[in-house]
Structure formats: C-alpha cells, structure tokens
Amino acid sequence: MPRAMDLDGRSVRKTVAQSTVTTNAQSGSIDIRGLTGRGILIVVLGTPFNADNTIEVQLQDSADDTTFADVTGATSGARTSDTAEVVEIPVDFDAIRRYIRLDYKGVAGTTPSYEVGTVALAGGHTLPADE
C-alpha cells in the first residue's frame, strides 16, 4: 500500500485510522517526521447519530510520543450538524513536534456517535520509497 501520493500539489504523508467516536477520546499517534512546511489536516466527520450531537477536533503534538499538548489554533472548533462534513485544519509542520494525534472533545448530545477519518497533507513533500 503506498504511503504517499500527490494530491492537488500536496503530498499525502500520513493518515489517522478511521474510528467511531462516541465520547471524549484521543486518536492513536502518528510520526510526522519528514513533513515540512505548511499543510492541512483534512478531517472527515461522518453524519452524526443524532442532530444534536457535537464534537470538536483538536490537534495535539509531542516530542516523545507520550506527553501531548494542544497545538494553538489547530482546531475544528465546536461542530453541531446533522450532516457529514469535511473540516480543514491548517498546520505549520515546521512549528510542531514529531508526533501528532487528535483530541476529540466536547462530544455530547443524544447518543453521540461520529465516524471520523483524517489525512495529513504537506506542501510539496515526497516521501522516500523506503520509508
């Protein structure tokens, strides 16, 4: 399975596995070594189980893959919607630490449930074939 491909002038480097979010939680972490420059996280929020469901997606980073902190300004903001949506979170990969994860917070409403998938894109980076 390829780990990188060109998409609209950007290089897909990493993906966070799709998951079902029903309560405040964090995704698994990913190593973003090699991603440079400005890019985006594309977060796909599936149709919520109920129209009153809410969620916020916050990017966190870590130097050691153990202790994580919020990345200032890298958030989806609170979302309340009864339809699926795509959220783009701008990221400066030169300004964050090596490991990232997503913090799903503010998950609330009647039986909250979201399918969430995420792709990290960085401008112009191409991943070596052996990585």
Average the pLDDT over 1-9 and give the result: 42
CA distance 111 to 30: 29
Instruction: Give the per-residue pLDDT at 131.
Output: 44
Q: Find all residues with CB under 8 Å of 64, minimum gap 6, and list them.
A: 99
Predicted local confidence at residue 60, as pLDDT: 96
Instruction: Locate the domains of the chain by residue range.
Output: 21-123
Contacts of 101 (CB under 8 A, 6+ apart): 16, 26, 27, 28, 29, 30, 60, 62, 68
Max CA distance (Å), the chain: 46
pLDDT at 130: 42
Q: What is the pLDDT at residue 120?
A: 76
What share of the chain has pLDDT > 90, as a percent? 33
Q: What is the CATH number of domain 21-123?
A: 2.60.120
- Kindly report, residue by residue over 26-69, the tens digit of the pLDDT: 988 988 887 888 888 888 888 888 888 899 999 999 999 999 99
**CA 69 to CA 81: how far, in whole Å?**
27
Tens-place pLDDT, residues 84-114: 889 899 989 899 999 999 999 999 999 898 8
